[in-house]
Chain A
Amino acid sequence: GAGVSQTPSNKVTEKGKYVELRCDPISGHTALYWYRQSLGQGPEFLIYFQGTGAADDSGLPNDRFFAVRPEGSVSTLKIQRTERGDSAVYLCASSSDAGDYGYTFGSGTRLTVV
């Protein structure tokens, strides 16, 4: 597509529920990234995919967070047993290569855990 698409744009869920956030990167981009942006903060790195594999998942805060990219295109970020502290904007980005070229970000999914 023309840009990075994230769905849903907003998600409200109850504490303890499971959520999935979807990212559709720019067609042909092999690198995909997830970041989390808490209120008043800059984005923080969660995970980086090169193709289908997670090349670096060191930013995932704990084992409740998991992400997949089974066909090397669309990615899903999965959060189990959500907590109120998970409330944030989850950003996805993609690039044609992992390097110094800059990413293209999606508009994000605003997750609110009540």
Chain B
Amino acid sequence: GNSVTQMEGPVTLSEEAFLTINCTYTATGYPSLFWYVQYPGEGLQLLLKATKADDKGSNKGFEATYRKETTSFHLEKGSVQVSDSAVYFCALSSPTSGTYKYIFGTGTRLKVLA
């Protein structure tokens, strides 16, 4: 079945450090891929998405590229800020199981220290 695997956290970085959060997936067909972010006390928010191979999603300085050959969608940011501290979830939707149904990873907590 379809699944998403994320690197375990917490990830602790100093402000202005480079961030990578790894995400790999298993899916039949051609899934769409997403990163969601959950700030403390708030709901999940869509951060970025990519709907086909080699697409790059970007938002708020974060980027992720849909790599079909490695079945990956790693999240990157060149210079993190304290305000980026949150839990990040990688997710997919697949036409074979319904594009409305998202499969989420377990989440990666990011802590950025001033």
Interface residues of A (CB under 8 A from B): 3-4, 31, 33, 35, 40-45, 48, 55-56, 59, 91, 93, 95, 98-100, 102-108
Contacts of B89 in A (CB 8 A): 42-43
Taking CB atoms, residues of chain A closer than 8 Å to B103 are 45
Q: Contact flags (1/0) for B85-114 with A, using CB distance below 8 Å?
A: 000010101000011111111110000000
**Is the CB–CB distance between B91 and A99 below 8 Å?**
no
Shortest Cβ-Cβ A-B pairs, 7 listed: A42-B104, A98-B100, A102-B46, A105-B43, A105-B44, A100-B32, A107-B43
Q: Which residues of B contact A98 (CB under 8 A)?
A: 98-100
Q: Are B44 and A100 in contact (CB under 8 A)?
A: no
Closest to A55 in B: B100
The DSSP consensus for interface residues of chain B is strand
Please, how many residues of chain B have a CB less than 8 angstroms from a CB on the other chain?
A: 25
* Cβ of B97 to closest chain A Cβ, rounded Å: 9
> How far does the alpha carbon of A56 sit from the alpha carbon of B36 in the complex, in Å?
23
Given A98-B100, A100-B51: A107 in contact with B93 (beta carbons within 8 A): no
CB atoms of B101 and A43 under 8 A apart: no
Whether the pair A108, B43 counts as a contact (CB closer than 8 A) is yes
Residues of A within 8 A of B1 (CB): none
The answer to whether B43 and A43 have CB atoms under 8 Å apart is no
A102 and B49 contacting across the interface, CB-CB below 8 Å: yes
Is the CB–CB distance between B99 and A103 below 8 Å? Answer: no
Q: Contacts A100-B51, A100-B93 hold; do A56 and B100 have CB atoms under 8 A apart?
A: yes
Minimum Cβ distance to chain B for residue A52 (Å): 16
Known: A43-B89, A93-B44, A100-B99. 7 other contacts (CB 8 A): A4-B43, A48-B98, A55-B100, A56-B98, A100-B32, A100-B51, A105-B44
